[in-house]
Amino acid sequence: MPEYLYEARTRAGKTIKGVMDAENEEAVNTKLKAQQLAPVSVKKKARKLGLSRFGGRVKLKDLVIFTRQFATMIDAGLPLVQCIEILGTQTENKRFGRILLDVKANVEGGATFSDSLKRYPKTFNDLYTNLVAAGELGGILDTIMNRLASYLEKNAQLQRKVKGAMVYPTIVLIVAIGVVSILLTKVIPTFEKMFKDFGAEKEMPAATQFVINLSKGFIQNLPAIVLTLGALITAVVMIYRTKRGKWIFHSFFLVIPILGTVIRKIAVARFTRTLGTLLSSGVPILDALDTVSRSAGNVVVEHAIRFARDRISEGRNMADPLAEAKVFPGMVVQMIAVGEQTGALDQMCNKIADFYDEEVDVAVEALTSMLEPIMMVGLGGSLGFMIIAMYLPIFNLAGAIKGE
């Protein structure tokens, strides 16, 4: 989304300047008017090639650090504008720094902190802005920011665990593909030429002939293989982008043996942690469920949450619709029912999230422990078979020479 430089006036006549992400100039003017600002000039920011342009994405780590430091400063009694200015100038991420300084300018212009954050939905999602709005409305912004910081830290920790578990298998898979490709295109043709020079190509062992044929087929059809893989990947991406395709893929992810269990536990941990944080911060349950559904990360889970929200709006409880959706484990549904009955749903959700965070740890470790030997056996077995197949004719030639 392009960036626009704008200049606007507040109701008090003060002129403010800033940067805004928007689709066009009209969208910038609309957003400024919604913040009770009178647009003076709006210009599209020129693109600059360089590290600041391409390396300026706001990462979760940057957001976690900002939220924790901001919560500490607010808790210590520093003014809101001063906190934003300090953090905006000292952050290492230049793009994030510009965003924070623009937020500061809007707050000084009379906009609320939450409305200023909403102008950057790619950096501050609905969960973040809704919690900030609840903190401002209730006069407990320091408490809310501490809760939000804790939530983001646990969410970041969960992401690190999942990504860390996938690093080793990904590296092994890439190395395996590279090594096998080199063997098929470089090493095996050299052995084949050597066998022909010794006149042994007519009496090749079956394993050797299979590997040679595999090498020839791979080399001859390499362009077709690359094009087929590219077309397949493109088709998968295009299907995944459709509503029906995403539903099929996400449903499949939840039922994959072993991996599906991990994905389901991650979904439960994220759902309960987010809902518990929102409810404990005073966000109404319907608004909380609407926000949680958008941050579910899986359309099947999102549908189940929206189904429960619709039933709650009709006067029903949450546990029964969740049970009908058959997405969440029975234990989770029962604990939510107890939380509703006792009036401590937020605390119950946080307890469920803590439990499933540990379950995710155990499941990820088990998955990693299982994948490592499987991939090593697969890689070692494939390479070992090729190497032995190439050396069989050599053994035969050596035996024939010894017999003579």
Tens of pLDDT along 295-327? 777 889 889 999 989 989 888 888 888 888 888
18: in domain: yes
Residues 94 and 224 occupy one common structural domain: no
pLDDT: which is higher, 387 or 158: 387
Tell me: do 84 and 177 sit in the same domain: no
Q: Is 76 exposed, middle or buried (0-12, 13-18, 19+ CB in 10 A)?
A: exposed
Most confident region among 43-57, 153-167, 220-234 by mean pLDDT: 220-234
Residues 100 and 198 in one domain: no
Question: Does pLDDT of 53 surpass 80?
Answer: no
Do 112 and 196 share a domain, yes or no?
no
Residue 133 domain flag:
no
Q: How many domains does the chain have?
A: 2
Whether residues 117 and 180 share a domain: the answer is no
- Residue type, position 77, single letter: G
- All residues at 6 or more sequence positions from 268 whose CB lies less than 8 Å from its CB, including other chains: 328, 329, 332, 352, 356
Whichever domain contains 322, its CATH number is 1.20.81.30
Mean pLDDT value of segment 261-270: 85
Q: Whole-model pTM?
A: 0.65
Q: Is residue 275 part of a domain?
A: yes
pLDDT at 402: 52
Q: Considering only 53-67, 120-134, 222-236, which range has the smallest mean pLDDT?
A: 53-67
DSSP calls for 248-296: HHHHHHHHSTTHHHHHHHHHHHHHHHHHHHHHHTT--HHHHHHHHHHTS
The pLDDT value recorded for residue 397 is: 66
Nearest to 97 by CA among 112, 85, 113: 85
Does residue 228 sit in the same domain as residue 328?
yes
Is residue 129 in some structural domain?
Answer: no
According to DSSP, residue 328 is labeled S
In angstroms, the CA 345 to CA 368 distance is: 34
CATH number of the domain within which 55 lies: 1.20.81
pLDDT value at residue 326:
85
* Cβ atoms 58, 139 nearer than 8 A: no
Contacts of residues 277-280 at CB distance under 8 Å and 24 or more positions apart, as own/partner, are: 277/127, 277/131, 277/147, 277/148, 277/151, 277/350, 278/127, 278/130, 278/131, 279/345, 279/346, 279/349, 280/147, 280/346, 280/347, 280/350
pLDDT surpasses 90 at 41: no
Domain shared by 120 and 175, yes or no: no
Provide the percentage of residues in the chain whose pLDDT is more than 90.
6
Rg (CA), the chain: 29
Residues 113 and 249 in one domain: no
Domain with 60, as residue range(s), is: 3-124
| CA–CA separation, 379 and 366 (whole Å) | 20
Q: Which residues contact 8 (CB under 8 A, 6 or more apart)?
A: 15, 16, 17, 32, 37, 38, 39, 40, 109
pLDDT for 228: 93
pLDDT digits (tens, 9 = 90+) for 190-233: 888 888 877 766 677 888 888 888 998 989 988 898 899 999 99
- Residue 200 confidence (pLDDT): 63
CB 350 within 8 Å of CB 273: yes
Residues present in the chain in total: 404
